[in-house]
Amino acid sequence: MAIVKISSENVTLSEPAEIGSFLARFGIEYERWVPDRPLAADAAADEVLVVYGREVEALKARGGYVTADVIDVKPETPNLDAMLARFSREHWHDEDEVRFIVEGRGLFHVHPPDSPVFAIEVEAGDLIRVPRGTHHWFDLCADRRIRAIRLFQDPSGWTPHYTDTGIDQGFQPVCFGRSYIPPLQPIRV
Ligand SMILES: [Fe+2]
């Protein structure tokens, strides 16, 4: 499940319902999707789209999306650093940014016009829809792995427009990780 952090307010949200209502204030949709049947880690893209077909079709109808594909990013993906650099600076799109995470993780930062920047760490099972025009940036986590379904209204419109504010420089592109457990303190008796 996703985690939301508003670092300037020292707030962390980890319950799906509170994450959903917080993100809705900024027009961002968040859902959890459960596959109709188990999906093998090496399943082909077509199979991924079939297994989540019901949810994908519902979202297409609701958001006017006409195409869906599956993006697969691994540490060995050619030109990975150049690809990531395109999206790790604050930008916005003419299209919604719609991602359902099939495998791996990623970190969105969102910069609303009148509210502090917040981060959303997404992982497998998370659907996020960032509306067109929203200022944001994206980083992979340290394992540099993400596989995600993307939906488009018009794929040709999905290019980053950079704000060049440099605000992204003030935020660490470091994932939080639900599995993080603070080191145990020695117990003295
Ligand atoms: Fe983006």
Q: Which residue has the tokens 């994206």?
A: 138
Q: Which residues surround ligand 1, an ion (CB under 5 A)?
A: 97
Q: Could you tell me the distance, in angstroms and rounded to a whole number, from the CA of residue 92 to the centre of ligand 1?
A: 6
pLDDT band at 181 (very low <50, low <70, confident <90, very high): very low
Cα 99 to ligand 1 centre (Å): 10
Q: Is the pLDDT of residue 186 over 70?
A: no
Amino acid at 171: F
Cα(123) to ligand 1 centroid in Å equals 17
Ligand 1 center–CA 37 separation, angstroms: 30
Q: What is the DSSP string of 52-76?
A: THHHHHHHHHHHT--EEEEEEE-TT
Least confident of 23-37, 75-89, 170-184: 170-184
Q: Please identify which residue in the block is written with the tokens 């605000």.
A: 167
Alpha carbon of 133 to ligand 1 centroid (Å): 10
Separation of CA 148 and ligand 1 centre (Å): 14
Q: How far is the CA of 134 from the centre of ligand 1 (A)?
A: 9
Centre of ligand 1 to C-alpha 151, Å, is 13
Q: Could you tell me how many residues make up the chain?
A: 189
Given this model, what pLDDT does residue 27 score? Answer: 97
Q: What digits encode the pLDDT tens for the residues 82-123?
A: 999 999 999 999 999 999 999 999 999 999 999 999 999 999
Q: What are 155-166's pLDDT values in tens digits?
A: 776 789 999 999
pTM for the predicted model, two decimal places: 0.89
The rounded Å distance from CA 160 to ligand 1 centre is 6
